[in-house]
Amino acid sequence: MAFLAMDDSFIAGLPKAELHMHLEGSFEPEQMFAVARRNKADIPFASAEDVRRAYRFSNLQDFLDIYYRSADVLRVEEDFYDLALAYLKRAADDNVRHAEIFFDPQTHTARGVAFATVADGILHALKDGEARFAITSKLILCFLRHLSEAEAFATLKQAEPYFDRIAGVGLDSSELGHPPSKFARVFAAARSHGLKLVAHAGEEGPASYVWEALDLLHVDRIDHGNRSLDDPRLVARLVAGQMTLTVCPLSNLKLCVVKDLKDHPLKRMLDLGLRATVNSDDPAYFGGHVNANFAAVAQALALGKSDLATLAKNSFLGSFLGDAEKARHLAAVEAYAAAPGTNRIRREP
Ligand code: HPA
Ligand code: ZN
């Protein structure tokens, strides 16, 4: 049946922030081969097409297994620089004006790559990316939750010289069996250093993990948060606190968190008054960058111009930018949404 969907050109021109993107998840197969050649590192695939064919996941762990293996070819500062610069260039093409980028230092330090090699390469690219592509950014260090609290503390210690250049800490990797409570003391230490706090919760894990992220970790944002909708009391709490949820539709589809995008909770989240945002999570693995995520949910959930503008405004409101920068970006979204010629609709077959 035909239905109306926003023209993708409205999405393309919409100023937006991306708040949930793992740098290692932006590693495109072609770049992976180029870096592997440079480092004389082995890849267990014959070609980029072969790599893409392997990207069929039935859950989060399926994906993580291949994601950590691919990161193995990243060895020297230039590799991390190239990875971050390529993401910023691609994000700027999607009219991302500001990106808050996750990186997983433990994936690299466990292989003998120094924390400084990773952080220096990324930070250098963030600086160059701002000058070259007019995109601002902040860096968020994620702890791997399948590893121990002691290993997270050791990573926080390694990050100490970078506290002035790292905006915050996050929590990612295998969610089930690794509740936020496991990292309450590490997050308290990070907070005492003035770092912002985010955590993946309620992607595969239950609503109780979202409660823990709020009450035990004292997070500033929830990454994913889909399962919050199982608990009306939690929804009320998230709405009352205007807690940002960094939602990742194509990731949810690829990792079987939803069976079909038509079942995706994003529209329900907006209608409940939750501060939801749209993000790509791991764009090289899940079939697209942020605009592809916007376009896919806009079509599947018949989102209108005002929903899309709300999502873009939420991305800036939920960012760690200062008030003046937020106000400037919010005004740009409003001016864009109000401009004539951004209101076209097309009929889908
Ligand atoms: N969930 C948990 N850990 C991750 C993800 C994710 O979606 N992407 C990269 N690391
Ligand atoms: Zn994620």
Q: Could you tell me if the CB of 250 is within 6 A of ligand 1?
A: no
Report the pLDDT averaged over residues 35-40.
97
Q: Domain count of the chain?
A: 1
pLDDT tier at 4, thresholds 50, 70, 90: very low
CB atoms within 10 A of CB 56: 10
Could you tell me if residue 195 is inside a domain?
yes
Could you tell me if residue 168 is inside a domain?
yes
pLDDT tier at 343, thresholds 50, 70, 90: low
Instruction: Work out the angle at residue 280's Cα, subtended by the Cα atoms of residues 236 and 29, and round it to the nearest 5 degrees.
Output: 155
pLDDT at residue number 342: 65
Atom of ligand 1 nearest to the CA of 282: 8
How many whole angstroms separate alpha carbon 25 and alpha carbon 281? Answer: 7
**Ligand (nearest to CA of 257):** 1
Q: Which domain holds residue 242?
A: 3-25+76-340
- Phi, psi (rounded to 5 degrees) for 143: -85, 140
pLDDT at residue number 90: 98
334 C-alpha to ligand 1 centroid (Å): 32
- What pTM value is reported for the model? 0.96
Q: pLDDT tens for residues 91-145?
A: 999 999 999 999 999 999 999 999 999 999 999 999 999 999 999 999 999 999 9
Which member of 24, 100, 175, 203 is catalytic?
203
Q: pLDDT tens for residues 293-314?
A: 999 999 999 999 999 999 999 9
Identify the CATH number of the domain in which residue 188 sits. 3.20.20.140
Could you tell me if residue 347 is inside a domain?
no
Could you tell me if residue 83 is inside a domain?
yes
Could you tell me if residue 316 is inside a domain?
yes
Bridge partners, residue 22, by sequence: 102
Q: Could you tell me if the CB of 251 is within 6 A of ligand 1?
A: yes
Instruction: Work out the angle at residue 131's Cα, subtended by the Cα atoms of residues 126 and 132, and round it to the nearest 5 degrees.
Output: 95
Q: Does the annotation count 203 as an active-site position?
A: yes
289 C-alpha to ligand 2 centroid (Å): 13
Nearest to 71 by CA among 95, 47, 116, 105: 105
Atom of ligand 1 nearest to the CA of 172: 3
Q: Which helix (H) or strand (E) holds 126?
A: helix 115-133
pLDDT beyond 70 at 333 = yes
Nearest to 339 by CA among 5, 17, 15, 4: 15
200 C-alpha to ligand 2 centroid (Å): 7
Could you tell me if residue 174 is inside a domain?
yes
> Which CA distances in Å does 332 have to 86, 109, 262?
25, 40, 30
Average confidence score pLDDT of the chain: 95
Give the CA diameter of the chain: 58
Q: pLDDT tens for residues 234-253?
A: 999 999 999 999 999 999 99
Q: Which residues, at least 6 apart from 114, have a Cβ–Cβ distance to it below 8 Å?
A: none
How many whole angstroms separate alpha carbon 54 and alpha carbon 311? Answer: 32
Q: Which residues, at least 6 apart from 152, have a Cβ–Cβ distance to it below 8 Å?
A: 143, 144, 183, 186
